[in-house]
Amino acid sequence: MMENALFESHFDLIPFGIYVVDAASYRIVYSNRAFNEHFGHHAGKLCHEALYERAEPCPWCRLGELLTPQGLPSGQTRVFEHFNESDDRWYQMQVRAMTWPDGRVVRYAIGVDISELKDTQNQLAEAHARLALTNIELARLSTTDMLTGLANRQQTEHLL
């Protein structure tokens, strides 16, 4: 279909991995060039089996949140962070339901690799913890006599 080709050509321009799943069957309808280069081609396969080696739909799929009780797109978008064990990377995921040009209701997911950001956050958290421990030690050293281990004069005067 011409409309499908138009959607696909636009999605192929986006530098982040995108895949589209049929809401009724969980089969991959489409994946863009960036996704295919990283994860391979999986069109027609069940997303949870092909991408995550799971027998059932993934708990982070959020498809139920994206559909109305009638099974139509709700207009809701969900953004969350997800660690993908298959490639050992962190992704910020944006998922949303929409009507595909052929009339099917689908869920698309855009995954932006944020692994470097998560590494930086972890390094900052570790540095913060080291700084807190150093501050505790400095406070102890500033109020304790090094020779006797007792409160020093400054601490004694503070206590009075």
Tell me the per-residue pLDDT of 83-129, one tens digit each, with 9 for 90 and over.
988 888 999 999 999 999 889 999 999 999 999 999 899 899 999 99
| Pair type for strands 77-84 and 89-99 | antiparallel
Indicate the average pLDDT of the chain.
Answer: 89
Tell me the per-residue pLDDT of 124-145, one tens digit each, with 9 for 90 and over.
999 999 999 999 998 888 888 8
Give residue 151's pLDDT: 81
Mean pLDDT across the stretch 140-152?
83
Give residue 156's pLDDT: 72
Alpha-carbon gap, residue 79 to 82, rounded angstroms? 10
Give residue 3's pLDDT: 64
Q: Which ranges constitute the DSSP H helices of 1-148?
A: 2-13, 33-39, 47-52, 63-66, 115-143
